[in-house]
């Protein structure tokens, strides 16, 4: 059995594996796709000490770093069930969709998250060509340009306020008849001169112009009218879905499905730790996920030296 089995191979899982392996304990990583969301990222400009890199490049260096410690890597496999240890210090099981079960004295859950997509025509083709999901990552790419934010919840309105300071103009499209963001955010947005809000706006298409996003089409759900906004950027902010469906019932999840954890990465089950975008960690960023993975690994090591004989 493994001393530590990390489920997930994104920045959080990779950092956890490196920290665990450096303690000289038997470490494994099982991941559906090693690299995680990073692989879908074009340019990364906020990873401190690296001015510019690209997702696939960062993914490959993470993999090489993990491999250099002799971590056992099981790639292309999806975890389907967490089987609790029969007693504290006992072995946990992680059953894979393929049917095999991996055993470990401690587990780190780092299965990340995925952005909810609108599903409208053009979204897939224009992803990273104007269509984006991460204002912290891509806001500066649209300096001086007109952008839209789809979604009027807290993340959408926070994004709009953030972007208003960087871009020329921000249009918020909200499907509902009112914004759902906190009042204080709505007031702040209303005070910014270079923003506009369309309520009852159902986005119907992301329109291409010269190989990039050129605008959005939406239907006003009250008048039934079809309208256009000319934008070069569109930030989709309609939710981040944690990849935790497989943990329902096994571990405490927040109402949004995030794994509940404390500042040490401990979950509701002793011996099971968590890290990164799959958890209640408030900010979903590479550097945050890596910090969180390192914390989880150090906590798992702490648990092992207290509960098991090497």
* Least Å from the CB of residue 94 to ligand FAD: 8
Closer CB to ligand FAD, residue 78 or residue 188? 78
Closer CB to ligand FAD, residue 289 or residue 304? 289
Closer CB to ligand FAD, residue 7 or residue 231? 7
Report the DSSP beta bridge partners of residue 94.
82, 102
In the bound complex, which residue of the shown chain has the CB atom lying closest to ligand FAD?
112
* Least Å from the CB of residue 169 to ligand FAD: 23
Q: Point out which residues bind ligand FAD (CB under 6 A).
A: 7-13, 30-34, 36-38, 40-41, 44, 46, 78-79, 110-113, 115, 133-134, 137, 243, 246, 276-278, 284-287, 289
- Closest by CA to 236, choosing from 129, 123, 146, is 123
* Least Å from the CB of residue 37 to ligand FAD: 4
* Least Å from the CB of residue 190 to ligand FAD: 29
* Least Å from the CB of residue 103 to ligand FAD: 16
* Least Å from the CB of residue 293 to ligand FAD: 7
Closer CB to ligand FAD, residue 41 or residue 294? 41
Euclidean distance between the first and the last CA atom of the chain, given in angstroms as a whole number: 12
Token pair belonging to 103:
């055993």
Per-residue DSSP letters for 41-99?
-SEE--BTTBS-EEHHHHHHHHHHHHHTTT-EEEES--EEEEEPPSSTTS-EEEEETTS
Closer CB to ligand FAD, residue 5 or residue 197? 5
Cα 143 to Cα 24: distance, rounded to the nearest angstrom: 47
Cα 176 to Cα 87: distance, rounded to the nearest angstrom: 49
Q: Which residues contact 266 (CB under 8 A, 6 or more apart)?
A: 273, 299
Closer CB to ligand FAD, residue 81 or residue 302? 81
The residue count for the chain: 310
């Amino acid at each position: 059995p493994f001393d530590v089995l990390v489920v997930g191979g994104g920045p959080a899982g990779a950092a956890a594996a490196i920290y665990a392996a450096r303690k000289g304990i038997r470490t494994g990583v099982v991941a559906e796709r090693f690299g995680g969301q990073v692989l879908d990222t074009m340019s990364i400009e906020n990873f401190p000490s690296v001015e510019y890199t690209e997702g696939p490049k960062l993914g490959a260096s993470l993999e090489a770093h993990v491999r250099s410690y002799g971590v056992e890597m099981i790639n292309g496999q999806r975890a389907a069930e967490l089987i609790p240890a029969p007693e504290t210090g006992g072995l946990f099981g992680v059953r894979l969709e393929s049917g095999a079960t991996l055993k470990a004295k401690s587990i780190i859950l780092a299965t990340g998250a995925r952005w909810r997509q609108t599903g409208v025509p053009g979204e897939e083709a224009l992803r990273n060509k104007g269509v984006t999901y991460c204002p912290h990552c891509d806001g500066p790419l649209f300096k001086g340009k007109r952008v839209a934010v789809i979604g009027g919840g807290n993340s959408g309105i926070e994004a709009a306020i953030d972007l208003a300071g960087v871009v020329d103009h921000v249009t918020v499209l909200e499907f509902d008849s009112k914004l759902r963001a906190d009042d204080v955010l709505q007031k702040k947005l209303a005070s910014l001169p270079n923003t506009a809000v369309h309520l009852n706006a159902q986005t119907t298409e992301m329109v291409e112009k010269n190989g990039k996003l050129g605008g959005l089409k939406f239907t006003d759900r009250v008048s039934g009218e079809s309208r256009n906004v000319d934008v070069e950027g569109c930030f989709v902010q309609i939710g981040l879905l944690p990849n935790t469906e497989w943990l329902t019932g096994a571990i405490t999840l927040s109402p949004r499905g995030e794994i509940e954890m404390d500042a040490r990465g401990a979950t509701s089950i002793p011996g099971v730790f968590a890290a990164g975008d799959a958890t209640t960690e408030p900010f979903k960023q590479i550097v945050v996920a890596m910090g969180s993975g390192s914390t989880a690994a150090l906590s798992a090591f702490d648990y092992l030296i207290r509960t098991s004989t090497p």
